[in-house]
Chains A and B, each alone.
Chain A
Amino acid sequence: MEQHILSLILFTPMAGALVVALLGRDASRLIKTVGLLFSLLALGLSVWLFLLFDGARGDMQCVEIIPWIPTLNVSYNVGIDGISLLLIVLTTFLTPIALLASWESVTARLKGYVALMLLLEAGTLGVFMALDLFLFYVFWEFMLVPMYFIIGIWGGQERIYAAIKFFLYTMAGSLLMLVAIIWLGSYAASLPGGAFTTDLLRLYAIAPGIPMGIQIWMFLAFTLSFAIKVPIFPLHTWLPDAHVQAPTAGSVILAGVLLKMGTYGLIRFCLPLFPYATFRFLPYLAGLGIVGIIYGALVSMVQPDIKKLVAYSSVSHLGFVVLGIFALTEEGMQGSVIQMINHGLSTGALFLLVGMIYDRRHTRLIKDFGGLARPMPVYAAFFMIVMLSSIGLPGLNGFVGEFLILLGSFRSAFLGSPWYAIAASSGVVLAAVYLLWSYQRIFFGKNERPENQALTDLNVREIAVLVPIVLFIVWIGVYPGTFLAKSAASTKQLIHRIEETRRGSYAGAAIEPGHGAQPGDRR
């Protein structure tokens, strides 16, 4: 059973979706319970995976390979390293929370909703597990479908526009990646003794030798697709629409997990497959990361709508992750990995909190609130903790990630200038500004409106949804070692490989890819 643990985790939500689909349409309580149970089962399995995982090893673990499409040399090939492990645990952790959060707010077409949430979880897990580019692409695209329906059916006023924009934006980026994947496969076939392959580990060995002129295009095709998903400025315009229009649970998963697929893709594919192109483009990408940090923060500051504020703050936070990745240092990379988790927890929790107040008041405009701390003390306390974690207060999780990223980019030989870190640190200050200011406007001051005075505080279910998140916010803040230890060896190996490539390229022109073979040359 242990050697099939990944498949078990992957297929548990799929089986859950199937079971839910077979239930009667009106048995809403049963549907919710069954969906929750399956997502908890997946969580339990992934906790087991976490314990099984050997953090001292940097290579792929729990690998399963089953031939799938022999004619194309594609196999069902899954495996994880420390980076994917953390993201898998995050996914399985947030899904039951999201289901529980929408326990009462979603009533229409409940069956489809629960089934789609489980399918979404399965698709996302597949993205983080796939070690075959083709399989990866299948999950990457497949996961669009449930998200599209979740936004389009259960979303807000402008949901249709947001759903279509989300779908087309993402698809436009990823289809170019598909061409690049095919090209890589044929490149592998064109090498002496090679065969068409989309096996990631095999391509790790081959792809860096792609001639520079083409490597750049490959890199750009992959990066475009991931940059849209992250989103990196200026490709972020789908995000505010999708986040604001999605139902609460959709926003939680979207911000908590789906955005990480983009940064994960950068780490898993762009850096190791195209190191030379990475060296060439990293100042620009790190620069765009910083633009995102500052731009996202500034736009957040002026949002009248809390949900939009949180959405734009994602752009800012993900900017940190991008900066950390392209610093190409161990600290930066570790910081990015842990910051992905942090953002999933903090922003997920913020969306939950916004959803809870929206369920009560059916408005999200900051100006409609004020003095909420009095009628809702528990709510205010939770909001405070989560907000401080998002700001990066020492002792909470956000600090760990941002600190490591800033440290890594400050020291980075690739960036070659401390100015990146200095510019990025302004984002920390700006985050404090927009979050504290909005907190002040929502919770302090006079509570003048009668409908605000009559607000009820959180109920048991809502507290149960938030407590686990807050627990991890504190855990990572106080003792991040539990999680960092799992990914340390993997990031170390990745950075080590890149360092070696660079040293090789300094040693002589022979390594700087020159005039290698191209697909089709064998004819």
Chain B
Amino acid sequence: MNPSMRDLSAIAPLLIVAGTGIVAVLADSVVKRGRSLSPVLAVAGLAAAIAFSLPALGDPAASAAFGGMVRTGAFTSYLTLVFCVSGLLSVLLSMSYIDEMIPERGEYYALILFAVSGMILMASAWDLVVFFLGLELMSLSFYILAGFARGRMTSNEAALKYFLLGAFATGFLLYGIALVYGATGSTSLAGFPARTGGLHQPLLLLAGLALLMIGLMFKVGSVPFHMWVPDVYEGAPTTVTAFMSTGGKAAAFSGFLIIFAPPVLIAQPALRDVLAVVAATSMVAGNIIALAQTSVKRMLAYSSIAHAGYILSGVVAANPAGSNGVLFYLMTYTMMNAGAFGVVSLLEKVDGSMLTFDECAGLSRRSPLVAALSAVFMFSLAGVPPLAGFFGKYYVFAGAVEAHYTWLAIVGVLMSVVSAYYYLRLVVVMYFNDNPGGVSPAARPLGLAAVIIAAIALTGFGVFPSILLGLGARCF
């Protein structure tokens, strides 16, 4: 089948990002000064992809392309936006960070672009195989990016760990796809919920869905498949972590929303309850372990496990409020987590040593701006209104309460209190303590700009959440 013009225009953002990636690789090797060209290309490509995905945001009806393999519409465009924003923020943060850390940065930006293409493919998947394709494209790029700081043991360890465990999880996912195919006779997601009813082999489907769920749980980094998160997030270059923990997580959650759409989950109460327990344990484990961390990056890594739990409660809710909440959460989480890791990337030393809480002491005196920005991210992560992080939590918990999962919401809010303790600890050291030997932010105007943009967006989406919610409401 030859793709028609309509097909190609349907996946325009994907083509742009992937195309820019290829150009960046070529530019790197062909053009003399190509190396300094590639970040510029990346920014241009991502910005163009955003521009192309905007028109479809208002288009509620999903339409299929490529013979029903991918779909377009508000949902896909919204998530494309999330991925591109995540990519853009990371590229801006990386620009001189990566130069300072690794002189031979080579294909770094191309890999970010390929990862974004993978994510977009996942969010536009209308067939399990396409979803798998996107997931692999994203994961392979991540494996390389995680180990990009070649000279550092931790980075190598991160890459190896992520690859081995990730490959294992991919196996689960693939096996799940096979079983679902066996049970329903198709890998297409169009009309998927309808086909799951009245099967001869309901157990086969259940097993397939369970395996799919395990694969996705691994990718979002929820308990009990979270073991890789702290090591990988800590070992990878910080700008890569900022990207993986936001775009990567959002892409995996798009899988939850596509495959485990509300009708599917409601038809499988056992899986839904398992997912609820997973959400609760992620919140508990992530938050409690984060309490004990001395490295800021590791604290953020554990906190991201907890956030996976919060977002999962929106999936468990399986109602419009919950799904809409997940979408809202993914965008705001991208802003606040990329921002938080961005601050870490500005503060940490390039020799690969981990930024500790003590080193941040007294930052508010040395750099009031960066300290204020970190405070915004920390309060938003803790869910203090009127920052956007609060609204994200509100929506997913509202969905859970509406779906009779009130206990999940109660666990969530209690764990938010725990999380407030360690998020505030960073604010405490920055504002209330003093340490003349502490760190000062590196002079990276672009990185700083990215962090400022994220903070402004968090405040804006907090005071006017309707901007995002209105978009999200069109997606389902």
Contact surface of A with B, Cβ cutoff 8 Å: 68-72, 134, 137-138, 141-142, 144-145, 148-149, 152-153, 159-160, 163-164, 167-168, 171-172, 175-176, 178-179, 182-183, 185-186, 189, 519-520
Assuming the A-B contacts A142-B385, A172-B414, are A179 and B432 also in contact, with contact meaning beta carbons closer than 8 angstroms in the complex?
no
Give bound CA distance, A519 to B409, whole Å.
15
B421 near A71 with CB under 8 A, answer: no
Nearest CB in chain B to that of A142: its residue: B385
Query: Does B442 reach chain A (CB closer than 8 Å)?
Result: no
Assuming the A-B contacts A141-B385, A175-B414, A183-B406, are A164 and B466 also in contact, with contact meaning beta carbons closer than 8 angstroms in the complex?
no
Closest 9 CB pairs of A and B: A175-B413, A138-B385, A172-B417, A71-B469, A152-B432, A186-B402, A182-B401, A182-B398, A141-B385
List of B residues within 8 angstroms of A138 by Cβ: 385-386, 390
Assuming the A-B contacts A69-B469, A519-B401, are A179 and B385 also in contact, with contact meaning beta carbons closer than 8 angstroms in the complex?
no
A183 near B401 with CB under 8 A, answer: yes
Interface size in chain B (residues, C-beta < 8 A): 33
A141 near B384 with CB under 8 A, answer: yes
A167 near B424 with CB under 8 A, answer: yes
Query: Does B324 reach chain A (CB closer than 8 Å)?
Result: yes
Interface centre among A134, A141, A176, A179 (most CB of B within 10 A): A179
List of B residues within 8 angstroms of A144 by Cβ: 384
**Which residues of chain B from 146 to 170 have a CB within 8 Å of any chain A CB?**
none
- B431 to chain A: closest CB distance in Å? 6
Give bound CA distance, A480 to B124, whole Å.
69
B324 near A168 with CB under 8 A, answer: no
Interface string of B402-436 (1 = CB under 8 A from A): 11101001100110110011001000100111000
List of B residues within 8 angstroms of A519 by Cβ: 401-402, 404
Interface string of B291-324 (1 = CB under 8 A from A): 0000000000000000000000000000000001
A520 near B402 with CB under 8 A, answer: yes
List of B residues within 8 angstroms of A186 by Cβ: 398, 401-402
**Which residues of chain B from 313 to 362 have a CB within 8 Å of any chain A CB?**
324
B428 near A164 with CB under 8 A, answer: yes
Query: Does B394 reach chain A (CB closer than 8 Å)?
Result: yes
Pick 19 A–B contacts, CB within 8 A, sort by A: A68-B466, A70-B466, A72-B469, A138-B390, A142-B384, A142-B385, A142-B386, A148-B424, A160-B433, A163-B428, A164-B424, A171-B416, A172-B414, A175-B413, A175-B414, A179-B397, A179-B401, A179-B406, A185-B398
A152 near B465 with CB under 8 A, answer: no
Give bound CA distance, A514 to B244, whole Å.
51
List of A residues within 8 angstroms of B224 by Cβ: none
Give bound CA distance, A163 to B420, whole Å.
12
Give bound CA distance, A171 to B424, whole Å.
12
List of A residues within 8 angstroms of B409 by Cβ: 179, 182
List of B residues within 8 angstroms of A137 by Cβ: 385
Task: Known A-B contacts: A69-B466, A141-B384, A186-B398. Give 11 more (CB < 8 A).
Answer: A68-B466, A70-B470, A71-B473, A134-B394, A152-B432, A153-B432, A163-B432, A167-B424, A172-B417, A178-B397, A179-B401
Assuming the A-B contacts A152-B428, A159-B432, A176-B413, are A71 and B466 also in contact, with contact meaning beta carbons closer than 8 angstroms in the complex?
yes
List of A residues within 8 angstroms of B256 by Cβ: none
Query: Does B379 reach chain A (CB closer than 8 Å)?
Result: yes
B397 near A182 with CB under 8 A, answer: yes
Interchain CB contact (< 8 A) of A152 among B397, B401, B431 = B431
Give bound CA distance, A72 to B385, whole Å.
16
